[in-house]
Amino acid sequence: MALVVICGQPCSGKSTAAACLADALQAVDPKPTVRIIDESSLHLGRNQSYADMPMEKNLRGVLRSEVDRSLSKSSIIIVDSLNNIKGYRYELWCLARASGIRYCVVFCDTDEDSCREWNRKRGEMGESSYDTKIFEDLVRRFEKPDRRNRWDSPLFELFPSKDEIRESSPVIADAVSYLTKKVDSKSRDVRVLQPTIATQTAHTTDANSLYEMDRATQEVINMIVEAQSQGLAGAVNRISLGQHLPTINIQRPIGLPELRSLRRTFIKLTGQSSLSGPPPPSDADSAKRMFVDYLNREIGTW
């Protein structure tokens, strides 16, 4: 149905805006399905996620993957995060276009001093806040949305440091109207993005790759569990997965919960890497090889 990108400086009122928008949408008849995706919903900490560029890149990849999985023509997805990089907002816009849904950006235009003060107060109250160094770095690198860019349009601007955000705020009402208004041949003020052949092909390819990755990594996990249960690892601590595949080297028994955790992390990292590099492997053997290499780095010994 729609993708809403909440954008703004750290501690600028984004989560309040997302909550007010979600509540206002729930008051519409018929009531749409609304979901907010943010760092906390994925159990990602603020300071840890923005500690350095690799961690921040991984965060964006995890959020993007979750958005991609959640988009549909029957729900409204609200991405409550900094979304401070224009290239990343473009990637989210491409996801919306590939899904053939509406898209908009809600920008919390709050001055830096107010954001800084709100961050300080959150810390004093024991709430989640940014370390000073991380906060200042994020403020410095923020790329303000521009309604002239198609990935920043339509742009709904809020000013939390001047006006309190409420469900009844005019900007929230305008956004709700845009997201829920019925579209027909005469509609001119609502745009439903249309997928191109390129985006449809890429989306299908990505889905196939993720399916192969999921299936292949699960097979590796099953083989490790079976080998350990039968004592096949033996004293040499090596588990063979078959011809043309690397051997898994382990120094200690690895329980199923740890293996599942490693698998989830690997899939997230692979999805994140594909944002700026080649797509995930589309064949099972390549996926298994990548996963085994990752396991050997994490739990093995060369």
* pLDDT on residue 24: 97
Q: Could you list the pLDDT tens digit for every one of the 302 residues in the chain?
A: 999 999 999 999 999 999 999 999 999 999 999 999 999 998 888 899 999 988 998 899 899 999 999 999 999 999 999 999 999 999 999 999 989 999 999 999 999 999 999 999 999 999 999 999 999 999 999 999 999 999 999 999 999 999 999 999 999 999 999 999 987 656 667 878 887 655 544 444 455 667 778 888 888 888 888 887 776 545 446 788 777 778 888 777 888 888 888 888 888 777 655 544 455 566 778 888 888 888 888 875 44
In the chain, the amino acid numbered 264 is R
Q: What is the pLDDT of residue 167?
A: 94
Q: What is the pLDDT of residue 113?
A: 97
Indicate the helix (H) or strand (E) that contains 5: strand 2-8
Lookup result for tokens 């990849």: 61
Residue 4, beta-bridge partner list: 78, 104
Which residues are paired to 162 by β-bridges? none
Instruction: Supply the pLDDT for residue 242.
Output: 75
Residues 6+ apart with CB under 8 A from 76: 1, 2, 3, 4, 25, 32, 33, 34, 35, 179
Token reading at 97? 């276009």
**Of the candidates 224, 229, 235, 242, which has an alpha carbon nearest to the alpha carbon of residue 295?**
224
Best CA proximity match to 70, nearest among 49, 96, 91: 96
- pLDDT for 302 equals 42
Cα 146 from Cα 77, distance rounded (Å): 21
| Packed helices 112-124 and 132-141: angle between N→C axes, nearest 10 degrees | 160
pTM: 0.66
CA–CA gap between residue 6 and residue 135 (Å, rounded):
18
Angle at 127 between CA 48 and CA 108, to 5 degrees: 80
pLDDT confidence of residue 280: 58
